Structure formats: C-alpha cells, structure tokens
C-alpha cells in the first residue's frame, strides 16, 4: 500500500519537478541519513535491511514523504538560489556580499577588456557577457554574465524588452522549440539545485562530524566532498545556462515575426521603435505609437580605474571559494584532533 501511494504521488509530479527538485532533495536526505547518527557504517545499513518489511516500508515512506514535503515547501527557493548564484540577489548588495560583488565585477570587467581586444575572442565575448558598452550590467559571477548576455540579446539586436516580449513569444513557439527551451531550463534548474544542496550538505554534515565524531578524517571528507560537488555543479550550471541562452536567442531570431503576425501588427520585426511601443502597451497600457522612445544610454566610459597605491590582485570568485574551502577544511580537521 505504501509503495502504491508513493508511486501515485510521484506520478502526479511534473517530470521537470521530479528531475530537478525531488530527486536532488531525496539524494540529499539519503546522504545525510548515511553520515548522520548511526550512519556511515555498513553494519547499520545491514541492520536496517534486516528489519521487518513493514518497518522498512514505513521508514521508506517517511523518507519519501519528507522529501516531497521539502520539495513543495522549497518550491520558490530555486529562483532565489539562481539569483544568488547569478549575482542578482540582494545578498550581494549587503555588507557581507558587497566586497565579493566588487571583486567579482572587477575580475569580469578585466576579462571583458582582454576579450574585446582580441578579434578571435568575439564569440566568447558575445556568448558570455553583456555588450561591452553595458558595463553596468556585468555580474560578479560567470553564471550571471551568461544569463544576462542572453537576456540582453533581444534588446541589443532588436530593441526588445525580453521581460515583456518573452511570455507572449513563448506562446507562438512550435511545440518542439518550446520543449527544447523547457528542457534547457530544467537542466539549468537541476544543476543549480544540486549546487545548493551540495553546499548545504557540506555545512550540515561537516558540522555534525566536527561536534560528534572523534575521527578526524570525517570532517574534511564530508565538508570537502560537499564543497567540491557544489563547485562542479555550479560549473555545470554555467554550461546549461549557455545552452538555455542559445535557445532563447534562436527563438527570438526566428519567431519574432510570427509573434507580430499573431498580434495583427505590421510586420516590422527589426524596428526597435515597434518593440518599444509594444512594451509600453503591454506594461503601461499606452497605445502603440503614442509614446516616444527613450534615448539610448550613452556608452560607459571605458577609461581604466585610477591607479591604487598598492595594486590588489584580482582573483575569480571560484579561486576565493577554493581557498576558503581548503582553509575551513584544515581548521576543521585541526579542531577535531584538538577537541
């Protein structure tokens, strides 16, 4: 009966939620159960399997139910985590995150300057960063810059406000194209969730090993495994974001004219003034043609930053993350041996 209820519940979950949210949460809880109290030993696993079937089924049902509950309660956390990893969260504007925000942006601005001066690096610059004249849009993280580049592509090419146009453009996409966009978004969400849960595992399992286990090897193993997995998942999310951005660019390039035809608007798909008028109509209710386009922003001053008395080395945030991980691992191992 329990297995049937679990199967029915899982079947009711959309495939996208099942893959990108439930399975990572389930794996996270299983990993915590393995390294938690009484876990991490083969004999404990054997004892659990040797219990009466009704007990095993009940405990399995409780575990799956907990995973489902966490998945539902944390349904909106995925967007918040994506904003955090892409540099769009308010965390980056607060006292703790402000130095990281400034360091990350400095690193990426210098990389943009290097790529912009290399004619052979135009493709990497186009896919990975906003336009060089939009330096205010540069994010402190690689993931944020890849996503921001895709979001700003319709505006830089056609004068389109993607926030206003995309919900309507998505409705006219062919089924295959819409499925490809949704699949790419699902892959991105999966990797972001894995990165967040891996980082949480590093903190929770590492803290448990630090305060309860006399074996010094457990803390660096649990903390290091979670931290490394979080970094690998983040790097994988960057690749998934690039694929999602490619699908978004392609959809705008190919199907923007079809959107205008469905709206009954004169087919001027390359006219920025038309897309401005439509955005004003959708967002503010101003009739098409009644609002004058705002003047284009002036390019940012590309002049270099004033020289510092003591030049500070600019390192990618990934490097700082690795340095912090190694430092915490060493200190935690030392604390375990001392305490």
**Tens digits of residue pLDDT in 273-299:** 776 776 776 556 566 665 554 544 544
Q: For 46-96, write each residue's pLDDT tens digit.
A: 555 666 677 667 766 777 777 777 766 666 667 888 999 998 888 887 777
Question: How far is 286 from 260, CA to CA, in rounded Å?
Answer: 18
Q: Is a pLDDT exceeding 60 seen at residue 303?
A: no
Contact criterion met (CB below 8 Å) for 19 and 186: yes
Contact criterion met (CB below 8 Å) for 100 and 140: yes
Q: Residue 193: count other Cβ atoms within 10 Å of its Cβ.
A: 26
Question: What is the band of 10 on the pLDDT scale with cuts at 50, 70, 90?
Answer: very low
Global pTM?
Answer: 0.77
Contact criterion met (CB below 8 Å) for 316 and 310: no
Q: Residue 68: count other Cβ atoms within 10 Å of its Cβ.
A: 18
> Measuring CA to CA, which residue among 189, 90, 107, 200 is closest to residue 147?
189
Q: What is the pLDDT of residue 46?
A: 57
Distances in whole angstroms, Cα of residue 132 to Cα of each of 33, 87, 153, 239, 257: 48, 18, 13, 21, 28
Evaluate the CA torsion angle 255, 260, 266, 272 in order and state its sign: negative
Higher per-residue confidence, 148 vs 260: 148
Mean pLDDT check: name the lowest of 97-106, 181-190, 194-203, 319-328. Answer: 319-328
Q: Is a pLDDT exceeding 70 seen at residue 130?
A: yes
């Amino acid at each position: 009966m329990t297995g049937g209820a679990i199967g029915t519940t899982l079947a009711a979950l959309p495939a996208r939620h099942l893959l990108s949210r439930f399975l990572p949460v389930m794996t996270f809880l299983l990993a915590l159960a393995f390294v938690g109290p009484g876990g991490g030993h083969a004999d404990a696993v054997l004892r659990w399997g040797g219990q009466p079937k009704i007990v095993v089924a009940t405990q399995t049902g409780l575990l799956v139910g907990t995973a489902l509950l966490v998945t539902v309660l944390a349904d909106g956390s995925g967007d918040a985590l994506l904003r955090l990893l892409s540099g769009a969260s308010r965390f980056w504007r607060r006292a703790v995150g402000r130095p990281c925000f400034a360091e990350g942006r400095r690193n990426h601005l210098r990389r943009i300057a290097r790529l912009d001066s290399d004619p052979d690096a135009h493709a990497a610059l186009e896919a990975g960063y906003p336009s060089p004249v939009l330096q205010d849009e540069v994010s402190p993280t690689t993931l944020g810059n890849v996503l921001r580049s895709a979001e700003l592509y319709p505006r830089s090419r056609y004068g389109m406000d993607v926030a206003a146009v995309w919900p309507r453009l998505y409705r006219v996409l062919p089924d295959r194209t819409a499925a490809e966009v949704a699949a790419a978004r699902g892959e991105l969400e999966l990797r972001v969730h894995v990165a967040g849960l891996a980082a949480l595992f590093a903190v929770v399992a590492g803290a448990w090993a630090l305060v309860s286990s006399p074996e010094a090897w457990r803390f660096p193993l649990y903390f290091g495994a979670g931290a490394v997995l979080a970094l690998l998942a983040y790097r994988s999310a960057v690749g998934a974001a690039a694929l999602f951005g490619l699908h978004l660019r392609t959809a705008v390039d190919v199907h923007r004219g079809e959107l205008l035809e469905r709206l009954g608007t004169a087919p001027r798909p390359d006219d920025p003034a038309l897309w401005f008028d439509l955005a004003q109509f959708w967002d503010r209710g101003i009739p098409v043609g009644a609002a004058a386009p705002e003047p284009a922003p002036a390019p940012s001053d590309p002049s270099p930053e004033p020289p510092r008395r003591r030049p500070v080395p600019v390192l990618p945030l990934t490097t700082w993350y690795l340095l912090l991980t190694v430092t915490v691992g060493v200190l935690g191992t030392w604390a375990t041996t001392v305490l």
